[in-house]
Amino acid sequence: MLAVAATRPELVTLSPSAHDLIQYSMVVAGLALFAHFVRTWNSTSEVGVRYRPAVLASLSITGVAFLAYVYLVVKFDQGYILTDGRYLPNAEALNTLVPRYMDWSVTVPLLMIEFLAVSAIAGAAARSRRFTLMTAAFLMILTGFIGATVQGDGTSQTALLVWGIVSSVFYLALYVLLINVLRQSKASMSARAYATYRNAGILLLSVWGWYPIAYAIHNWASGQWWTVTIQVGFSFADIAAKVGFGALIHKVAKLRTAEDVHAGEQTHPEEVWISSVKMSDGVQPLLKGVILANEAQGGGRLQRASTTTTTAERERNLRDITGATMTPPTASDTPRAFPEKPPHS
């Protein structure tokens, strides 16, 4: 088969308007990622420990992506020289697109961790599914990177086509796997939590549709406005896939935290609020310790403290169980699950 040359989009001469549009999109994307990183960092405690891996994954995603965009902006500024009213690319211009694949090689597998962390899949099934999703995500990016930049220096239409097909196999596998995760989680989530989770999945899968389109543009079209389309499209797709998706997953994590508190499955010291609506009260682990001690000793009428909604109700339940009022614990009256052993004589 005869190799046909393609034009690398980052090596196209740009007009000032085309240059400014690309620079604008990169700076906005970087700032949006940084803003989401700060917001997530300061709201980590809003989510219960069961779903906190999703928040930590989001922090990692936006942190890595922000650093990648700082690098992209610097190289974009250095990679084009204004000459006679046109921005001419130099060797540094190659670093205005390639680093995106390096970013995605880390952040796309992390997106899979974030998505799975709030699902209903747990235990060995979750570990197996996580490994499969992360592997498919990484191979999707790696094979696309080989076709776009490595084989034929990113100018071979044949290489772009072949590796694009290979990458698409992993891309389709991810679609099937993620949809399956959504289906398996539906029965275990409330309607509100599942609706938000489903919307997060739809957003991610929809945004991902842009990346193969941009890859095809690289193969079959060239010119400054196609370069603008690819670069601007990548920037705003990254915002949607990392910031928009992350915000939805964060909401799912908060909703599921509130549901677990009401069901008595976990304690959470902070109240859970969403859009200025209280979803659950804060429940201190100490109260659960008192109840567990009561269970171990087989005494009293048991009500789960995590299902109560007011301080007065918690105090009444605690008094029913222990015969004491709620006072700050001291070293001498801290609840114990079992009585102390008598000292040795």
- The pLDDT tens digits for 219-258 are 888 899 999 999 999 999 999 999 999 999 999 999 998 8
Domains of the chain: 9-263 (1.20.1070.10), 284-338 (no CATH)
- Tens of pLDDT, residue by residue over 59-116, are 999 999 999 999 999 999 999 999 999 999 998 998 999 999 999 999 999 999 999 9
Distance of CA 179 to the CA centre of its chain: 17
E strand or H helix at 57, and its extent? helix 52-79
Check: CB of residue 192 under 8 Å from CB of residue 258. Answer: no
With a pLDDT cut of 70, the percent of the chain lying above it is: 80
Please say whether the beta carbons of 55 and 44 come within 8 A. Answer: yes
Two structure tokens written together for 323: 């015969």
Helices then strands, each counted (H, E), the chain: 11, 4
* Range 302-311 contact pairs with CB under 8 angstroms and sequence separation of 24 or more: 304/264, 306/261, 306/262, 306/263, 306/264, 306/265, 306/266, 306/267, 307/262, 307/263, 307/264, 308/281, 308/283, 309/281, 310/281
Q: Which of 145, 135, 111 is nearest to 215 (CA)?
A: 145
Query: What's the number of CA atoms in the CB half-sphere (13 Å) around residue 284?
Result: 11
Its pTM stands at 0.80
Report which of 212, 235, 211, 231 is spatially closest to residue 223, judged by C-alpha positions. Answer: 231
pLDDT at 338 over 90: no
Question: Who's near 344: CB < 8 A, 6+ residues apart?
Answer: none
